[in-house]
Amino acid sequence: MSGKIQQLTVGQRVEIQISGLNVPARFQTDFIGVIKGRWFIVAMPDAKRYGELREHLHEGVPLIVRFVLENENGEICAFRTDIDFVVSHPTKMLFLDWPSNVESRVIRQGRRFDAYLPTSVARLNEDNKAEMSVDGVILDVSETGCRVKHQYSAPEGDDNNATDDADSPNEGHGWESGQRVQLNVQQKGNGELKLGCIVRQIKCKDGVCELGLQFNSNQKEAINSLFSGSLVDIDALARAGE
C-alpha cells in the first residue's frame, strides 16, 4: 500500500490530524517528499493560520495523514503515524514515521460515503445572491453530489416530495428541482468551504427536508477538500475494507 504514497506529487496538499488531543485538531500543509521505508516528509503548517497547533507538533506525537489521489478513479487515502523529528533548516519540516499500512478507497461515481457535517444551504438568485439560507447537515457525499437534511416549519397538509414555492423556510421548504444553491461547510482548522450545487431531488415530510444536490463540475479542488478535510475517517475506511 506504500505505493499510494509514491503517487503523491511534491507540493500537493495533505491533511494532518493530531490524534492525541482531546479535541480533534486538523491542518493542511504541503507534501515535501519521502525517504522510502523511513520517513514521510511534510512542511510545518503556516504559523499565522495554525500557530496554536504548532505548539503540539513535536517528537512522538501521533498523527493521522489524509490525502486524495487524482488518478484514473480518484482515491481517498489515510494512515496513522508519529512525528519522528522536527527540523528547522533550511525550512521547518516534519519527518513522520513510515506507515505500516495505508488505507484507501476509490471514489467511484455513485458510491456514497456517510457523513454528518454541519452546513448551511443558501438558495441563489440570478445574480448569485443568497435569497434564503437554512442550517442543516450533510448526510452523505459522493464525487458528484451529496444529500443534505434540514428542518423547516411544515405547513398543514405537508406530504412527501412536496415542492411549493414559498419564499421563506418558515412558510414551507421553498425548494424546486433545478435551483442553484451554495453549500457552506465549516471545516475544523481549514475555514469555510463553499460549494456550488444544483437541487436534483427533494423529499420533505413532517418538518424534515432532504435535498439531493449535484456539485457543479468546475470545483474539483473544493470537492477533494470536502473529502480529505472532513470525511476520511481512517477507522471507517478500515471497516469498509473488511
Summarize the confidence of residues 187-214 as an average pLDDT. 85
Average pLDDT of the chain to the nearest whole number:
80
Going by DSSP bridges, is the β-strand pair 93-97/75-87 parallel, antiparallel, or unpaired? Answer: antiparallel
| Statement to judge: residues 201 and 185 lie in one domain | yes
- Residue at a domain's end among 79, 106, 133: 106
The pLDDT value given to residue 99: 94
The pLDDT value given to residue 35: 94
The pLDDT value given to residue 139: 85
Residues of the domain holding 28: 3-106
User: Within a domain: residue 234?
Assistant: no
Chain segment 98-136, per-residue pLDDT in tens: 999 998 877 655 567 777 778 999 998 887 788 888 999
Q: pLDDT-derived band of residue 195, with 50, 70 and 90 as boundaries?
A: very high
| Statement to judge: residues 151 and 192 lie in one domain | yes
Q: What secondary structure does DSSP assign to 187-239, as a single string?
A: ETTTEEEEEEEEEEEEEEETTEEEEEEEEPTT-HHHHHHHIIIII--HHHHHH
Domain count for the chain = 2
| Statement to judge: residues 146 and 101 lie in one domain | no
Quick check: 156 pLDDT over 60? no
| Statement to judge: residues 23 and 82 lie in one domain | yes
| Statement to judge: residues 137 and 82 lie in one domain | no
Q: Over pLDDT 90: what percentage of the chain?
A: 32
Quick check: 241 pLDDT over 50? no
- Residue 45 sits in a domain whose CATH number is 2.30.110.10
**Rounded to whole angstroms, how far apart are CA atoms 49 and 190?**
9
**The three grid cell numbers given for residue 137, joined into one nine-digit string:** 447537515
Chain segment 47-67, per-residue pLDDT in tens: 888 888 888 899 999 999 988
**The three grid cell numbers given for residue 27, joined into one nine-digit string:** 491542518
| Statement to judge: residues 41 and 20 lie in one domain | yes
- Residue at a domain's end among 106, 135, 158: 106
**Rounded to whole angstroms, how far apart are CA atoms 202 and 182?**
16
**Rounded to whole angstroms, how far apart are CA atoms 38 and 191?**
33
**Rounded to whole angstroms, how far apart are CA atoms 189 and 231?**
14
The pLDDT value given to residue 19: 83
| Statement to judge: residues 55 and 155 lie in one domain | no
Model pTM score: 0.54
